[in-house]
Amino acid sequence: MRLISWNVNGLRACLKKGFQESVRGLDPDIISIQETKMQPGQAEVDLPEYTEYFCSAEKKGYSGTAVFTKPVPDSVQYNFGSHQDEGRGIICSYPGFYLVNVYVPNAQNELKRIDYRMEWEDDFRIFVTELDKEKPVIICGDMNVAHEEIDLKNPKTNRGNAGFSDQERGKMTELLDAGFTDTFRYLYPDVTGIYSWWSYRFNARKNNAGWRIDYFIVSNRLADRIVDAKIHTDIMGSDHCPVELEIDLD
């Protein structure tokens, strides 16, 4: 099974920059997207082979997630726990696994939202570990953290900033220690210079001054089924690029 995750930074804008063509070229079984910044019906996505599910924020033009899937899930849940208003999660239940598409809150400049981020992280970890007791879990999305120094171009100058604070990195460690595997690092533990997000400022993408903050994370018992994990740095349309997981679920 081939799965794609992509923070599109506004689906309506990305549609004008080749979103549908990129999806057709990748031809995933499931594509999960984050930061749709829209309500259902505000744009038409011409991908008839997929069933689509949208989870939108109450605040218009903000956050939001969506899943386009060829296999129809047994059930779909939107958001989790007390985190119901920002459209940050879609949980699809399939016969052999859960897919959790998530857009983790940004801690913001000067870590203004770090307290909420820590609350989110703890609640999310509890939520997915409970799911994992039922069947394996595949988590994907914009996790808004570069876990280790290898995961961003300039770790020294970004230490303590949103996305590379000790608090956020620590919560990613806690999530992985709870029984989950970072699929890209599982296959490529020492690869450098491969990122999934670049600031629109300072020619960051041209200079590859990026961060790896988009992930596929799976239950440990799925790790030996990982076939490949890719980061499609050549695909444009957003300040993020798509990330891919190929996994044998038969």
Active-site pick, 50, 103, 195, 215: 103
Mention every residue, 6+ apart, whose C-beta is less than 8 A from residue 137: 97, 98, 100, 128, 131, 180, 218, 219
Active site residue 103: yes
Mention every residue, 6+ apart, whose C-beta is less than 8 A from residue 207: none
> Of 76, 77, 75, 79, which is closest to residue 89 (Cα–Cα)?
79
Mention every residue, 6+ apart, whose C-beta is less than 8 A from residue 60: 39
Active-site pick, 132, 142, 151, 214: 142
Query: Taking the CA atoms of the chain, what radius of gyration do you get in angstroms?
Result: 17
Mention every residue, 6+ apart, whose C-beta is less than 8 A from residue 128: 100, 137, 139, 175, 178, 180
Mention every residue, 6+ apart, whose C-beta is less than 8 A from residue 9: 35, 37, 238, 239, 240
Which phi and psi angles does 176 have, rounded to 5°? -65, -40
Active site residue 151: no
Q: At what angle do helices 166-177 and 114-134 cross, to 10 degrees?
A: 10
Which residues face 100 on adjacent strands?
Answer: 91, 139
> Of 201, 250, 247, 234, which is closest to residue 30 (Cα–Cα)?
247
Contact 183, 245 (CB under 8 A): yes
Q: Which residues are marked as active site?
A: 103, 142
